[in-house]
Chain A
């Protein structure tokens, strides 16, 4: 059977990882051809680290990078968020896959529409 593998990763699983572990986990999975949907997404700093790490791994005729799509972050207006005054940005769902298999068709503030291709 031909196809692609899509893994839906829970917020709980991601919360158990350090930022470095998260980036390493994502890169390893995407390089193996998987599409990941992260329930909570990444912080802006983690997204920047992921872009940086991706660039170090790009190879001609091999890995050409990632397609990553996340909604713009939202400000955490909850009482706890205000009380802690620490990173009041809430990260949101993120879709990540190999650039040669995942293509974004449309995205706005609250919706991501993507095309996944099995042919490289």
Chain B
């Protein structure tokens, strides 16, 4: 980040703290199929009665960042207001053949692949405009992915708060302790966004980290 941009950001942060005009912008990041949109939908349904977007077992279902402003979360007597941004899954490679394996024809697969690449670009750009990140990991998968390392590195470099979510703990093969051991320097909460398991603890941690 350049000196002028850093100065502008610091000034904006101080201004924001003085007048509290904006909500904290919290991005939901993670690899494709980690459960980001399921979690975003859970948050919105619990606190606004609405939903963010559709979910699918096919990777890159979310191909545009979606933002919901002013989501108020009340927990332990306190209240925080956040702008929640659901981002497309980050990836370093996108092969249209993987969409064809899900039953799509070639033209549709290529169109999806093109949209997915644009979605990743958008998600990377959003990283520079956030006040914090919820990093969603699939607790049944290896946590040492480049996406996770890159997102965590960016938050650490910017000194921004990060909350790791070990999702899908409703599945028998889930191992949230592997995630905790991989990134012990950051707070982590184990949940099932799909079933709502441990979701109250997630909201408490959310308020603690971003409130």
Quick one: given A64-B94, A108-B144, are A44 and B121 in contact (CB under 8 Å)? Answer: no
Tell me if A39 counts as interface (CB < 8 A to partner B).
no
Chain A min CB distance to B1 (Å): 7
A72 touches B93 (CB 8 A): no
10 extra interface residue pairs, beta carbon distance < 8 Å, beyond A48-B124, A89-B157: A45-B157, A51-B91, A51-B92, A52-B121, A55-B118, A56-B117, A64-B94, A65-B93, A66-B92, A70-B146
List of A residues within 8 angstroms of B149 by Cβ = 47, 70-73
The answer, among B96, B120, B146, B153, for a CB contact under 8 Å with A52, is: B120
Flag if A51 contacts B90 (CB, 8 Å): yes
CB–CB A99/B92 < 8 A:
yes
Give the complex CA separation of A47 and B148 in angstroms.
11
CB-based contact A45/B125 at 8 Å: no
What is the number of residues of chain B that contact chain A, defined by CB distance less than 8 Å? 30
A51 touching B120, Cβ below 8 Å: yes
Please determine whether A67 and B93 come into contact, CB atoms closer than 8 angstroms.
yes
The chain B residues found within 8 Å of chain A, CB to CB, are 1, 90-96, 110, 113-114, 117-118, 120-121, 124-125, 127, 142, 144, 146, 149-150, 152-154, 156-157, 182-183
Instruction: Provide the residues of chain A in CB contact with B90, threshold 8 Å.
Output: 51
Question: Is A89 touching B156 in the complex (CB atoms < 8 A)?
Answer: yes
- Write out, one digit per residue, whether chain A residues 88-109 have a CB within 8 A of any chain B CB (1) or not (0): 0100000000010000000111
Interface residues contributed by chain A, number (CB under 8 Å): 30
Contacting residues of chain A (12-53) with chain B, CB-CB under 8 angstroms:
43-45, 47-49, 51-52
Are A65 and B150 interface neighbours, CB within 8 A? Answer: no
Interface SS of chain A: mixed
User: Is A44 within 8 A of B154, CB to CB?
Assistant: yes
> Given the interface contacts A44-B157, A58-B117, A73-B156, does A51 sit within 8 Å of B94 by beta carbon?
no
Q: Which residues of A contact B124 (CB under 8 A)?
A: 48-49, 51-52, 55
User: Are B182 and A60 closer than 8 Å at their CB atoms?
Assistant: no
CB <8 Å contact, B121 and A56 = yes
How many angstroms between the C-alpha atoms of A28 and B20 in the bound complex? 45
Asked whether, in the complex, the Cβ of B150 is within 8 Å of the Cβ of A99, the reply is: no
Contacts of B152 in A (CB 8 A): 44, 72
Cross-chain contact A66 with B121 (CB below 8 angstroms): no
* Minimum CB–CB distance for B10 against chain A, Å: 14
B120 — which chain A residues lie within 8 A by C-beta?
Answer: 51-52, 55
CB contact between A68 and one of B94, B110, B146 (< 8 Å): that residue: B146
